[in-house]
Amino acid sequence: MKTSKLKLHLIGGARPNFIKIAPLLKLLDKNKNFETTFVNTGQHYNNKLYDKILDDLGLRLPDINLNARSSSSNAQFSKIMSRYEKYINKNTPDLVIVFGDVNSTLATALTAKKMGIKIAHVEAGLRCYDDCLPEEINRRLTDSISDYYFIPTRNEEKNLRRENIKKNIFFVGNIMVDSLKLILKKNQNFKVNFQKFGLITLHRPENVDYKKNLLQIIEKIEEISKTIALVFPIHPRTKKSLERFKLLKKLNSIKNLKLYESFGYHRFLMYLNKSQLIITDSGGVQEESTFLGIPCFTLRKNTERPITISDGTNCLVNVTNVVNKVKKVKKKKVKIEKWDGQTANRIEIILEKIQKCDFQRYLF
Ligand code: UDP
121 is catalytic: no
**What's the gap in Å between 178 CA and the centre of ligand 1?**
15
Superfamily of 186-327 according to CATH:
Glycogen Phosphorylase B; (3.40.50.2000)
Backbone φ, ψ for residue 207 (5° rounding):
-95, -35
- pLDDT (average), residues 241-270: 96
**What's the gap in Å between 74 CA and the centre of ligand 1?**
23
Question: Which atom of ligand 1 is the closest one to the Cα of 53?
Answer: 7
Question: Which atom of ligand 1 is the closest one to the Cα of 176?
Answer: 15
Q: How confident is the model at residue 3 (pLDDT cuts 50, 70, 90)?
A: low
Is 62's C-beta closer than 6 angstroms to any atom of ligand 1? no
Q: Is residue 237 predicted with pLDDT exceeding 80? A: yes
Q: Look at residue 364 in the predicted model and tell me its pLDDT.
A: 43
**What's the gap in Å between 282 CA and the centre of ligand 1?**
6
Is 262's C-beta closer than 6 angstroms to any atom of ligand 1? yes
Q: Look at residue 360 in the predicted model and tell me its pLDDT.
A: 60
More confident residue, 69 or 187: 69
Q: Look at residue 107 in the predicted model and tell me its pLDDT.
A: 98
pLDDT per residue as tens digits for the range 36-64: 999 999 987 666 667 788 889 999 999 99
Report the C-alpha gap between 311 and 195 in whole angstroms. 27
Q: Name the active-site residue from 9, 121, 203, 266.
A: 203
Q: How confident is the model at residue 361 (pLDDT cuts 50, 70, 90)?
A: low
Same fold, 6-173+339-356 and 186-327: yes
Q: Is residue 363 predicted with pLDDT exceeding 60? A: no
Superfamily of 6-173+339-356 according to CATH:
Glycogen Phosphorylase B; (3.40.50.2000)
Question: Which atom of ligand 1 is the closest one to the Cα of 19?
Answer: 15
Average pLDDT of the residues of the chain: 94
Q: Look at residue 45 in the predicted model and tell me its pLDDT.
A: 66
Question: Which atom of ligand 1 is the closest one to the Cα of 101?
Answer: 25
Q: Look at residue 48 in the predicted model and tell me its pLDDT.
A: 60
Give me the residue spans of the domains in the chain: 6-173+339-356, 186-327
**What's the gap in Å between 107 CA and the centre of ligand 1?**
21
Is 282's C-beta closer than 6 angstroms to any atom of ligand 1? yes
Is 348's C-beta closer than 6 angstroms to any atom of ligand 1? no
Q: How confident is the model at residue 332 (pLDDT cuts 50, 70, 90)?
A: confident
Which range among 36-50, 78-92, 189-203, 204-218 shows the weakest confidence by mean pLDDT?
A: 36-50
Q: Look at residue 308 in the predicted model and tell me its pLDDT.
A: 98
**Given its phi and psi angles, is residue 208 left (phi above 0), alpha (psi -120 to 50 degrees) or beta?**
alpha
pLDDT per residue as tens digits for the range 158-203: 999 999 999 999 999 999 999 999 999 887 788 888 889 999 999 9
Report the C-alpha gap between 60 and 129 in whole angstroms. 36
Q: Strand 118-122's sheet: what is its strand order?
A: 64-65, 34-40, 6-12, 95-99, 118-122, 148-151, 169-171
Report the C-alpha gap between 339 and 32 in whole angstroms. 27
Q: How confident is the model at residue 362 (pLDDT cuts 50, 70, 90)?
A: low
Task: Record the pTM.
Answer: 0.95
**What's the gap in Å between 361 CA and the centre of ligand 1?**
41
Is 180's C-beta closer than 6 angstroms to any atom of ligand 1? no
